[in-house]
């Protein structure tokens, strides 16, 4: 384990330090409480979620709370989490939200919602995915993260936390600790893992997925919280095991072993190794996005991570094959905890802070490459 962590640290050090481009940062929303995710409608209306409050829209510059489900479960890391706008929104007027619910016992679920033209009313709630486990023993809501993104294949990719359940990441029928790939009705996407796995599972052996991002060439990546060491960025491959297996080695011990390596190559020699790892200590990266355009200069095509504990934007440029970092940089280190980073229809990056107590904001970040 020590040799593997050391190897990851060497890989990280070999990545060149390339300065981030100058950035103009403006605040576009204030007085928020842990805004979890952002989406944009075709007319550029901004939607965002707050963990304890629900789904809001910004219309004519004014915030409007448009939906808070009566079954919303708010506990530790659980609440209203990710949002994904239907790529066919102009026709369907549908968005998807992932949240913790008390509707049928505690779980994490995805609901499909229909918005009216004025973005004032939510109708036709349909829960397309239910039963993603939440922690059943004392730490209700721990590792409940649910990040959704529509992929270039048109399917909804969903990263789940392992609910701090030792058996979850490697169990083929538990949805926690997985990356799922589903259609807009919640059915399995073609090409997923087959039996003995639940057909909605794309990959397994994950700890606490906080981000899903797609490179311009179609490669899919997750962003994952580590334990005391080794947050990860993983190149996702259907059927791959990413090696998180926190079941204690003592037979019959039901606890959750946080000392297990993120990629356990002893128990799982064929586990897929991370593209990037934080080493020790962890920084808690969250939502990620690949950026593009000349305004990003040398960072055109790079991966930008919003970082919670490390309070930064962490920028990574990957090798042509997408399997290792070749450059790294830091930006926005003075705004506290950052949870999500998305690209808006105007080409700017929008970033949510996650400091709590109604002090949070949404930032508009506009890079200006110098050449």
The tens digit of pLDDT for each residue in 190-211 reads 999 999 999 999 999 999 999 9
User: What percentage of residues in the chain have a pLDDT greater than 70?
Assistant: 95
Handedness of CA 115, 116, 122, 124 (dihedral sign): negative
Helical (H) or strand (E) element with 24: strand 23-32
The tens digit of pLDDT for each residue in 279-298 reads 999 999 999 999 999 999 99
The tens digit of pLDDT for each residue in 40-57 reads 999 999 999 999 999 999
Q: What are phi and psi of 6, to 5 degrees?
A: -65, -40
Q: Is the pTM of this model over 0.75?
A: yes
The tens digit of pLDDT for each residue in 333-356 reads 999 999 999 999 999 999 999 999
Handedness of CA 115, 120, 123, 126 (dihedral sign): positive
Cα gap 26→39, rounded to integer Å: 18
What is the number of residues in the chain?
371
Residue by residue, DSSP assigns 185-231 as: TSPBPTTS--TTS-TTEEEE--SBEEEEEE-TTS-EEEEE--SSS--
Q: Residue 168: CA atoms inside 13 Å, Cβ hemisphere, count?
A: 26
* Chain centroid, CA 345 distance in Å: 20
Task: Decide if pLDDT at 16 tops 90.
Answer: no
Q: How confident is the model at residue 11 (pLDDT cuts 50, 70, 90)?
A: very low
What is the average pLDDT across 208-220? 98
CB 131 within 8 A of CB 143: no
Q: How confident is the model at residue 253 (pLDDT cuts 50, 70, 90)?
A: confident
The tens digit of pLDDT for each residue in 113-150 reads 999 999 999 999 999 999 999 987 678 889 998 999 99
CB 207 within 8 A of CB 225: yes
Give pLDDT, residue 371: 55
């Amino acid at each position: 384990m020590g040799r593997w962590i050391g190897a990851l640290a060497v890989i990280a050090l070999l990545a060149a330090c390339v300065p981030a481009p100058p950035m103009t940062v403006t605040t576009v929303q204030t007085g928020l409480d842990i805004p979890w995710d952002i989406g944009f409608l075709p007319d550029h209306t901004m939607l965002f979620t707050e963990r304890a409050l629900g789904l809001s829209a910004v219309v004519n510059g004014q915030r409007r709370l448009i939906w808070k489900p009566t079954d919303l479960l708010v506990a530790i890391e659980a609440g209203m989490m990710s949002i994904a706008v239907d790529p066919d929104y102009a026709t369907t007027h549908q968005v998807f939200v992932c949240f913790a619910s008390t509707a049928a016992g505690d779980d994490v679920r995805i609901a499909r919602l229909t918005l009216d033209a004025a973005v004032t009313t939510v109708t036709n709630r349909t829960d397309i995915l239910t039963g993603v486990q939440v922690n059943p023993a004392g730490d209700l809501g721990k590792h409940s993260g649910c990040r959704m993104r529509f992929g270039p294949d048109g399917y909804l990719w969903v990263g789940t936390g392992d609910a701090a359940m030792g058996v979850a990441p490697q169990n083929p029928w538990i949805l926690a600790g997985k990356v799922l790939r589903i259609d807009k009705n919640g059915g399995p996407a073609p090409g997923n893992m087959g039996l003995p796995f639940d057909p909605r599972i794309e990959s397994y052996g994950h700890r606490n997925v906080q981000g899903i991002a797609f490179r311009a060439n179609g490669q899919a990546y997750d962003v994952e919280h580590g334990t005391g060491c080794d947050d990860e960025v993983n190149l996702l491959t259907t059927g791959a095991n990413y090696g998180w297996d926190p079941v204690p080695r003592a037979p019959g011990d039901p606890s959750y072993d946080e000392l297990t390596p993120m990629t356990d190559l002893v128990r799982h020699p064929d586990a897929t190794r991370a593209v990037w790892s934080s080493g020790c200590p962890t920084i808690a990266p969250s939502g990620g996005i690949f950026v593009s355009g000349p305004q990003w200069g040398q960072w055109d095509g790079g991966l930008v991570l919003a970082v919670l504990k490390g309070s930064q934007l962490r920028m990574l440029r990957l090798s042509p094959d997408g399997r290792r970092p070749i450059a790294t940089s830091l930006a926005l280190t003075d705004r506290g905890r950052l949870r999500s980073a998305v690209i808006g229809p105007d080409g700017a990056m929008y970033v949510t802070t996650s400091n709590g107590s109604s002090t949070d904001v949404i930032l508009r970040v506009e890079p200006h490459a110098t050449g």
